Structure 1
Amino acid sequence: MKTLLSLATAATLLSAAPFVSAQNPAGANATKYGIAVVDINYIFKKDARFEAQMKAIQSEMVGVNDTLNAKRTEIAKAEQAMQTLNIGSPEYKQQDENLAKAKADFQLDVNKQRREILEREAKVYYDTYQRVTSAITFYAKQKNIALVMRFIGEEPDPNRRDEIIASINKDVHFQNQIDITPDILAMLNQQQQAAARPGQPLQ
């Protein structure tokens, strides 16, 4: 299965490769030195398929939240109705039991929905990373590049401690026109355009 998937990916990349711009000033020296860098974070932000999949998940989350909010409102109304009953009465006890079960079921539903969303997001991230890795490998072999390193192309926000720390700890602090990020991103998006059918959303 993995072999078939790899062959299919390679074939798609081959079909997209001719459309990638032959001139990428940012990576002009990559083939010359046999070394390149790529900004994975930037690719994730601009990859068409990843963006479409994440938007689909976000839209689903809106629907899930609406459903959960409706259930929450029902529970709140039931609690208000219970206040009109006499404490200790059979009706009060029955309503109290029903509410306890409803709240427990609601929490289970919330946890289930959250877990499913997180699992779907994780799969999207994993699948995207696999596509990016395949594209980088294919490109490097085609261009006779022996080493591709990950780097951070964006400058850190001086007001964000986490970004400053990430910049300090980054692997590449200088690169001389060996950035192949534009080419990899172009390959991925051209691959997605080739796979999409007219009138159908990106999957």
Structure 2
Amino acid sequence: MKTAIHFLAAIVMATLCSNVAVAQQNQGGIVAVVDIAKVFEAHAGHKAKMLQIEEEVKAFEADFKTQRQSLNTQIQALQALVGQPAYKEEEAKLARMDADLTIQANQKRAEIINREAQVYYETYTDVYATVARLAQSYNITLVINYDSAEIDPTNRDSIIKGVNRNVVFQRDLDLTELVIQQINAAGN
């Protein structure tokens, strides 16, 4: 009796497993590719935000350079006070100014790095949502990120980068240009 139950259970399991395998074979999904790096390069909103940050960095660097030159001029003028009672007080004041300037520069750099990271995050979520929307619209079940850049056979770094990337071959469905069009049309 136990042997019959085990045999019957084995037949039921084999039938269920074969049905699942057949169902999976019949459900072959559509696979597409997208070059996320290329999308980022062509993303008008991303470029505008990064350009704004770059301009802010240039303005900050110019201001920092001016303040640093002023401080250096004051330090040189301090040399004329060597041996006088006001020397130590003035030296301490300039040291504090130098430290404050360095702290301000470090804080600004950290702020800029965080803002850049936020811009990249926002751009990525925008691209992700667009890819998801397109995949849903065209019944695509899998989208793979790939690098469409050609390998330059005369450039060692390009060759190494190309050799180390995943091998992705997709004959027909490259969503990159469609994603770029949709993102830039939305005015992001």
Q: TM-score, normalised by structure 1?
A: 0.75
Q: Does 1:50 align with 2:30?
A: no
User: Which residues of 2 match residues 10-89 of structure 1 at below 5 A?
Assistant: 34-87=30-83, 89=84
> Which has the higher Rg, Structure 1 or Structure 2?
2
- Deviation per residue, 1:97-146 (Å, 9 max, x gap): 01110111011011011001101100000000000000000000100001
Match of 2:142 among 142, 147, 154: 147
Who is 1:25 aligned against? none
2:86 maps to 91
Is the aligned partner of 1:189 residue 2:178?
Answer: no
CA contact (8 A) 2:30 2:139 kept: yes
Distance 1:76 1:159 in 2: 47
Q: 1-side partners of 2:153 and 2:122: how far apart?
A: 33
Work out the number of aligned pairs and report it: 161
Distance 1:78 1:159, change over 3 A: farther
1:103 to 84, 98, 107: 98
1:138 to 2:133 alignment: yes
Equivalences for 1:153-172 in 2 at 5 Å? 153-158=148-153, 160-172=155-167
CA displacement at 1:73 relative to structure 2: 0.9
Choose between structure 1 and 2: higher helix proportion. Answer: 2
Match of 2:18 in 1: none
Question: For the residues of structure 2 that align with 1:157 and 1:98, how far apart are their CA atoms?
Answer: 56
**Contact conserved, 1:37 with 1:180, CA < 8 A, in 2?**
yes
**Matched-pair contact (CA < 8 Å) for 1:37–1:149:** yes
Corresponding residue for residue 3 of structure 2: none
Quote the offset at 1:67 in angstroms: 1.2
Structure 2, unmatched stretches of 5+, are: 1-27
C-alpha change, 1:161 and 1:102, in structure 2 (3 Å) is farther
Distance in 1 between residues matched to 2:46 and 2:174, nearest whole Å = 21
C-alpha RMSD over aligned residues: 1.7
Could you tell me whether the CA contact under 8 Å between 2:35 and 2:146 is conserved in 1? yes
Taking the aligned partners of 1:173 and 1:140, their CA distance within structure 2 comes to 18
TM-score normalised by length of structure 2: 0.80
- Could you say if the C-alpha distance between residues 111 and 191 of structure 1 is closer, same or farther in structure 2, counting changes exceeding 3 Å? same
Identity of aligned residues (%): 34
Distance 1:177 1:125, change over 3 A: same
CA contact (8 A) 1:150 1:171 kept: no
Q: CA deviation at 1:94?
A: 1.1
Alpha-carbon spacing, 1:159–1:65, altered in 2? closer, same or farther (3 Å): farther
